[in-house]
A and B are shown apart, each in its own frame.
Chain A
Amino acid sequence: MKIKNLVMAGVFSTASLMTSAAWSATDIQWWHAMGGRLGEVVNEIAEKYNASQTTYNLVPTYKGGYEDTMTAGIAAFRAKKQPNILQVFDAGAATIINAKGATVPVAELMEKYAGGFDIKDYISGVRYFYADSSGKMIGMPFNSSTPLLYWNKDAFAKAGVAGPPKTWEEFEAMAPKLAAAGYKALAQSHSPWIFSENFHSRHNLQMATGNNGYDSTDVKILYNNPHMKMHWTKVKEWLDKGWYGFYGRAWGDNQDAFVQKKVAMWLGSSGSFGGLTKSADFKFGASFLPYWKSVIAEPKGTFIGGAALFAMSGKPEEENKGVADFLKFLTSPDMQYFWHKQTGYVPITNAAYDKAKADGYYKTTPDAEVGIQQLNQPGGEWTKGYRLGYYVQIREVMYKNYENIFSGKSTVDEAFKAMETESNALLERFHATYK
Chain B
Amino acid sequence: MKKIDWNLVSTHTILIIGVIFMSLPVWVAFATSTHAPETILRDGLQFWPGGHFFKTYNEVLFVEGGVMKKVTAMAMLKNSLILGIGFAIGKVIISMLAAYAIVFFRFRLALPLFWIIFMTLLLPLEVRIIPSYEVMAGLNLLDTHTGLILPLIASATGTFFFRQFFMSIPDELLEAARLDGATPWRFFVDILVPLSKTMIAAILIIMFVVGWNQYLWPLIMTTKEENYTLVIGIKQIYQVLADGGQLPQYQKAFALTILATLPPVLVVLVFQNWFVKGLVESEK
Chain A positions within 8 Å of B, measured between CB atoms, are 29, 35-40, 43, 61-65, 68, 71-72, 74-76, 78-81, 83, 189, 250-252, 255-256, 259-260, 268-269, 271-272, 274-275, 278-279, 344
Contacts and interface: CB of A to CB of B under 8 A. Distances in A.
Given A61-B223, A62-B236, A74-B130, A251 B242 contact: yes
A275 B245 CA distance: 5
Contacts of B225: 61-62
Contacts, number: 100
Contacts of A39: 68-69, 236
Interface string B36-51: 0010011000000000
6 contacts: A36-B239, A36-B240, A39-B68, A64-B219, A64-B239, A260-B42
Interface string B135-152: 011100010000000000
B130 A65 contact: no
A43 B232 CA distance: 18
Interface of B: 38, 41-42, 65, 68-70, 129-130, 133-134, 136-138, 142, 219-220, 223-225, 232, 235-237, 239-249
Contact of A68 (B136, B219, B244, B245): B219
A37 B241 CA distance: 12
B243 A251 contact: yes
B228 to A, nearest CB: 8
A344 B126 CA distance: 35
A75 B69 contact: no
A153 to B, nearest CB: 20
Contact of B130 (A37, A75, A260, A271): A75
B264 to A, nearest CB: 23
Nearest to B134: A79
A43 B219 CA distance: 18
Contacts of A272: 244-245
Contacts of B240: 35-37
Given A43-B69, A62-B225, A250-B244, A256 B41 contact: yes
A259 B40 CA distance: 13
B137 A81 contact: yes
A105 B241 CA distance: 33
B123 to A, nearest CB: 17
Given A80-B137, A252-B248, A259-B41, A36 B237 contact: yes
A29 B245 contact: no
Residue from the set B136, B138, B247 with the largest chain A CB neighbour count within 10 Å: B247
A89 to B, nearest CB: 11
Given A68-B219, A80-B137, A83-B223, 18 more contacts: A35-B239, A36-B236, A38-B246, A40-B65, A40-B69, A61-B224, A62-B68, A64-B239, A65-B239, A65-B243, A72-B219, A79-B134, A79-B138, A189-B244, A252-B242, A275-B244, A275-B246, A344-B245
Nearest to B129: A75
Contacts of A64: 219, 232, 235-236, 239
A65 B215 CA distance: 13
B239 A279 contact: no
A216 B253 CA distance: 44
B56 to A, nearest CB: 16
B242 A250 contact: yes
Nearest to A40: B69
B216 to A, nearest CB: 8
A260 B44 CA distance: 12
A271 B219 contact: no
Nearest to B249: A36
A356 B38 CA distance: 31
Nearest to A344: B245
